[in-house]
Amino acid sequence: MKQVVIPNTDLKVSNICLGAGNFGDKLNEEEAYQVLDAFISAGGNFIDTAKVYCYWATGDNSSEQCIGRWLKLRNAYQNVRIATKGAHYNLDDQEKRSRVNKKEVAIDLEESLQTLGLDCIGLYYLHRDDNQIPVEEIVDFCEEFVKEGKIRYYAFSNWDLDRATSALDYAKTTGKKGFVALSNQYSLAYVKKENNMNPDKTLSLTDMDYLAWHKKTGIPLIPYTSVANGFFEKLRNSGAYHNGTAQPELLKNTMSERMIRAFINPCNLKRYEILEELQKEYGYSMIELSLAYLTNHSAPIIPVVSVRNTAQLEPVVRASEIVLPKDVITKLDECSN
């Protein structure tokens, strides 16, 4: 797999990041180890987890636990770059009250360090934002964790553009390192926030203006849901799109009503037509092309991808090496206008 350096860091990572959101839920420990071993063998080294993964299934941080045991068993501490996250609201809190404050983040960070068996976390995200707290306060306490040696670099997840801009400006004007990446939702499959498959209103979706900001600033986007739950592959397998029209009765054979509502729109149907032509020319799968769009973009993007097994990992590995012409990326982006 290709590797890139995250700007303003010394973190050299694979250009596609392995998401561990399924570890302890849809994958048991043995299956997770198989995926991790295969990813490392293929040249991958960037692994994404969070304290809250998979609390919804097990009531604890089983994803981090699984990775921590794997790191110890394989003695892989020097071979991988672990990114994890804290400051997510409590999943059993119906009001989704913010935990973005120094005290709560310190608790999450200490637990992640112990669970993963690390003295310092390479890349640590705040999993959510709280727009009631000044960005200056958030940046300052993140900087303190860096000075304490508990994290090397910090990043933000689910931050809106105005907040990210303010945080970056503050860091620059005060001579602080600042955050080095953002992890928001983004993929080739366009979706309006009100139609998103995940109804959580605390999520932030990247649009073309945000993408232009990433290109301008050089701050990498490390997006989740990066292949849109396999939407383009499912559309192809459904056989539902012909001559500019998608047939609803056939769509239901491969995708849920929520997916249809989220992704069946003029932009994505245009993009699907382009992908079909690329398939004929290059022979790549829809998953491979969807990821290659991200890794070849003029904006710095390192997609996060979760898989269920090693077979699903194979196209991810292949996508890492694909080179697409710049005009193809431009053409795909123009569909959103």
Q: What is the DSSP letter of 301?
A: B
Lookup: tokens for 110: 């200490």
Instruction: Compute the average pLDDT of residues 75-82.
Output: 96
Instruction: Compute the average pLDDT of residues 191-198.
Output: 96
One-letter identity of residue 191: V
Residue 337, pLDDT above cutoff 80: no
Q: How far apart, in whole angstroms, are the C-alpha atoms of residue 280 and residue 297?
A: 21
In sequence order, the 6+-apart residues with CB closer than 8 A to the CB of 337 are 208
- Our separate counts of H helices and E strands in the chain read 14, 11
Residue 162, pLDDT above cutoff 90: yes
Helix or strand (DSSP H, E) at 19: strand 17-19
- 85: closest CA among 118, 113, 50? 50
Q: How far apart, in whole angstroms, are the C-alpha atoms of residue 236 and residue 291?
A: 16
Q: What's the N-to-C CA distance of the chain in angstroms?
A: 33
Pairing of strands 304-305, 17-19: parallel
Residue 58, pLDDT above cutoff 90: no
Per residue in 314-329, pLDDT (tens digit) is 999 999 999 999 999 9
- 271: closest CA among 226, 236, 221, 315? 236
In sequence order, the 6+-apart residues with CB closer than 8 A to the CB of 270 are 335
Q: How far apart, in whole angstroms, are the C-alpha atoms of residue 288 and residue 239?
A: 19
DSSP 183-246: E-B--SS---GGG-SS--TT--B--HHHHHHHHHH-PPB--BSTTGGGHHHHHHHHT-EETTEE
Q: What's the chain's average pLDDT?
A: 96
**What sign for the dihedral angle of Cα 67, 73, 75, 79?**
negative
Percent of the chain with pLDDT over 90: 95
**In the block, which residue shows the tokens 């997840």?**
157
**Superfamily of the domain at 3-183:** NADP-dependent oxidoreductase domain (3.20.20.100)
Q: How far apart, in whole angstroms, are the C-alpha atoms of residue 53 and residue 35?
A: 17
What's the angle, vertex CA 152, arms to CA 148 and CA 153, rounded to 5? 120
- pTM value is 0.97
Residue 56: how many CB atoms within 10 A of its CB? 11
The pLDDT of residue 245: 86
Lookup: tokens for 334: 């123009």
Instruction: Compute the average pLDDT of residues 20-46.
Output: 97
Pairing of strands 46-48, 81-86: parallel
Position 54 confidence tier, pLDDT thresholds 50, 70, 90: confident
Contact 16, 305 (CB under 8 A): yes
State phi, psi for 183 to the nearest 5 degrees: -120, 95
Per residue in 221-268, pLDDT (tens digit) is 999 999 999 999 999 999 999 888 899 899 999 999 999 999 999 999
Position 59 confidence tier, pLDDT thresholds 50, 70, 90: confident
